[in-house]
Chains A and B, each alone.
Chain A
């Protein structure tokens, strides 16, 4: 494997951070991006799933729902009342 799951988690995190406010990613978008970058023989869908799990379980990313489930950085949401 050319890349570790931890490295992939880091790359996914950067993708999400850079696109924050402009574009939202679903788990499948992140998986497809990693497979496109490293090739199907190098990373599997399960590796990508594992990388996403690292991001979520560490609290660096959270799931959000806006007409579908996306992965985003934790933030104060617009709808929230104090």
Chain B
């Protein structure tokens, strides 16, 4: 235990206010782990000098794996010797982030033995993030994790740890079993997860419905978003009940439908289902009256990413509807063609979405053997320089 703790007047400011504070948590942790005191000391120095003091290492890892460990060293090791090494380990999270309390205790105990005890539950890809350990502790920590049935997640130019919303485990809107698909993808692509062979990272995210609670449309190279093909299931008596209880169905439901395909005559709600774009708005507002249809599956989209080299991108539709039972096989077939094309033509650090932008969607579709379909078009072209002659 640290006898004298470092003074951190700047960081202390971050403890004020009603919000959770990482400073408060790290101060708690330094009572049992002295690495945390040096961590606060170095961070305070960074705030004073407006300068980062971490150096990133390139080759630390566990034997055989090219991902899962992010090397980090202090550039002030004499002043903060306890964080001279402060590597991050990424641990593959369970699908849907379900844990027993025993599993959580096991993870925390392992990390108390081998690292700072600080965790980030979870990183933006979804992994359990263990923050701060020494090079010598990596292999023993990995050995304990695997003994307990855990494995490292992805980092670097690999398929990153796939993630999924809770899906059918808890959510009645799930149009396919997201957790099973996530698990199957993780098992299928073990090599791609641990042995970097791509131009850059590749993320799968499985969302059970268009509410997209895992933000797959914004954060994954391949987004698998649950949807339905037939009509929304409608319970007229329940609709009437909402109206009776004071819901303004015209204003709160119909007027907010993006395609204006709903109408309400004061008694009956009518949905032109062929115009519905499955946005989930009406279902979210009247969950007792409306439900996704019965013919369920998912839309597969490609190319999203958060801003790093280029700006943020949303993913685009590749296959509008795949029945739930055919999802895994379809994704495997499609992914092998996409990865082949990307490995051949992708530049270093070029995400698949950026490659598609560079070569054009038409060439990309041609290369992976998919025909263009209208659902790939997000909006009709409104270029005023195209004229149609009357006879056309």
Contact = CB atoms under 8 A, between A and B. Distances in A.
Interface of A: 26-28, 31, 49, 52-53, 56-57, 59, 62-69, 72, 74-75, 77, 79-82
Contacts of A63: 59, 61, 65-67, 156, 195-196
A52 B199 contact: no
Interface in B353-383: none
Contacts of A67: 348-349
A49 B192 CA distance: 10
Contacts of A64: 58-59
A66 B58 contact: yes
B195 A80 contact: no
B197 A28 contact: yes
A4 to B, nearest CB: 20
A68 B70 CA distance: 12
Most chain B C-beta atoms within 10 Å of own C-beta, residue among A53, A59, A62, A63 = A63
A68 B349 contact: yes
Interface in B83-104: 84-85
Contacts of B85: 80-81
5 contacts: A28-B343, A49-B191, A65-B59, A69-B66, A81-B85
B57 A80 contact: yes
Interface residues of B, number: 34
> Which 6 A-B pairs give the minimum distances between C-beta atoms?
A63-B66, A69-B196, A69-B156, A69-B157, A27-B197, A79-B55
Contacts of A80: 57, 60, 71, 73, 85, 135
B74 A81 contact: yes
Given A56-B66, A77-B58, A68 B199 contact: yes
A16 B70 CA distance: 23
B73 A81 contact: yes
B202 interface: no
B195 A62 contact: no
